[in-house]
């Protein structure tokens, strides 16, 4: 029997429900576990972590929206990740981790043999966390690393922290998707990211929605995609002060490049993990057709809020 999924959102979980979850994990009958926004006792959280540690089938774990609410729970999760070998995608969006939480999780994350996608959006992270996360984006030939990293809505990260991340992204041998939406980046940091995109041999998706950009940033990205070879296939510039004309020009150029790639390798295929978008911030709507939201063959799932 193929492993299935357990998806529960925003409920207070009973002891019986926790037992069922743990039994399923230990029986290796779960590939996806999501208790997004659920309330459970510290004791029950520990039981779930022990189940995660023992599972050989679990590929995706969603603890979004405050499930990991204390440093004690962070330590329990770290212990579970050290024992687990199967998790590929970990969602912790909306957890009050702070830098201390990343320090606690760092060894487990950096030594996990299967982890390729990590969502740390809205986790109250700062520069120390960025320093640690750069270790999950090793340069060419060093070791395997993350293919997808989400750092949405972490406004405490400084320009120095973003610069450090841009350098790591430029040299990462694995990173394909970088989601930085709803951070106060501005044009200066966007310029650093454009250099990183131009240097990267792997980065295909960059989400800069709602990051305080202007036409200055858009012009840099336009010059990049117009004049230099790049792997970039998806650029999200919604909710920024950028003219419709510039956005359309960038969109057209990326679409042209993607059509050429599809002709060369239609069989390659790819998938991007669905993730949270900050519910407390405005999103694009049907009246904003000029926003640059280009899926270009990667599908639209990377912007869909996970309902797991």
253 within domain boundaries: yes
Domain edge (last residue) among 104, 124, 144: 124
Low-confidence residues of the chain: pLDDT under 70: 1-2, 141-142, 257-274, 277-308
Same domain for 115 and 80, yes or no, is yes
| CATH number assigned to the domain comprising residue 243 | 3.80.10.10
Same domain for 9 and 79, yes or no, is yes
108 within domain boundaries: yes
- Return the pLDDT at 298: 35
Are 201 and 256 in contact by the 8 Å Cβ rule? The answer is no
Same domain for 107 and 156, yes or no, is no
142 within domain boundaries: yes
With 0-12 / 13-18 / 19 or more C-beta atoms within 10 angstroms meaning exposed / middle / buried, residue 259 is exposed
96 within domain boundaries: yes
273 within domain boundaries: no
- Return the pLDDT at 277: 67
115 within domain boundaries: yes
Phi, psi torsion values for 192, nearest 5 degrees: -60, -40
Same domain for 170 and 75, yes or no, is no
Same domain for 152 and 199, yes or no, is yes
Phi, psi torsion values for 179, nearest 5 degrees: -110, 110
Same domain for 166 and 58, yes or no, is no
Which residue range(s) make up the domain with 95? 1-124
Domain edge (last residue) among 124, 153, 177: 124
Domain count across the chain: 2
Same domain for 187 and 83, yes or no, is no
Same domain for 112 and 188, yes or no, is no
What's the CA gap between 287 and 243, in Å, rounded?
Answer: 15
Q: Which residues contact 99 (CB under 8 A, 6 or more apart)?
A: 125, 126, 127, 128, 129
Same domain for 112 and 136, yes or no, is no
Same domain for 131 and 234, yes or no, is yes
Domain edge (last residue) among 99, 124, 149: 124
Same domain for 115 and 154, yes or no, is no
Strand (E) or helix (H) holding 303: none
């Amino acid at each position: 029997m193929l492993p299935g999924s357990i998806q529960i959102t925003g409920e207070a979980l009973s002891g019986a429900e926790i037992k069922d979850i743990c039994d399923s994990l230990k029986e290796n009958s779960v590939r996806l576990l999501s208790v997004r926004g659920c309330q459970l006792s510290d004791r029950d959280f520990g039981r779930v972590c022990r189940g995660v540690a023992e599972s050989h089938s679990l590929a995706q774990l969603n603890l979004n929206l405050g499930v990991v609410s204390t440093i004690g729970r962070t330590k329990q999760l770290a212990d579970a990740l050290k024992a687990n070998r199967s998790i590929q995608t970990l969602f912790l969006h909306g957890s009050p981790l702070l830098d201390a939480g990343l320090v606690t999780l760092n060894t487990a994350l950096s030594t996990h043999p299967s982890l390729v996608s990590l969502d740390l959006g809205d986790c109250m992270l700062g520069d120390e966390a960025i320093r640690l996360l750069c270790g999950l984006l090793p340069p060419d030939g060093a070791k395997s690393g993350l293919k997808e990293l989400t750092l949405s809505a972490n406004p405490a990260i400084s320009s120095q922290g973003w610069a450090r991340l841009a350098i790591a992204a430029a040299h990462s041998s694995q990173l394909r998707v970088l989601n930085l939406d709803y951070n106060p980046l501005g044009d200066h940091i966007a310029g650093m990211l454009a250099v990183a995109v131009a240097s990267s041999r792997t980065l295909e998706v960059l989400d800069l929605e709602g990051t305080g950009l202007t036409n200055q940033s858009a012009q840099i990205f336009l010059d990049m995609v117009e004049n230099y070879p790049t792997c970039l296939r998806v650029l999200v510039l919604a909710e920024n002060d950028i003219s419709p004309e510039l956005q359309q020009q960038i969109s057209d150029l990326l679409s042209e490049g993607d059509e050429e790639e599809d002709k060369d390798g239609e069989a390659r295929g790819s998938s991007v993990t669905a993730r949270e978008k900050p519910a407390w911030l405005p999103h694009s709507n049907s009246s904003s057709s000029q926003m640059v939201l280009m899926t270009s063959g990667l599908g639209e799932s990377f912007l869909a809020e996970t309902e797991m």
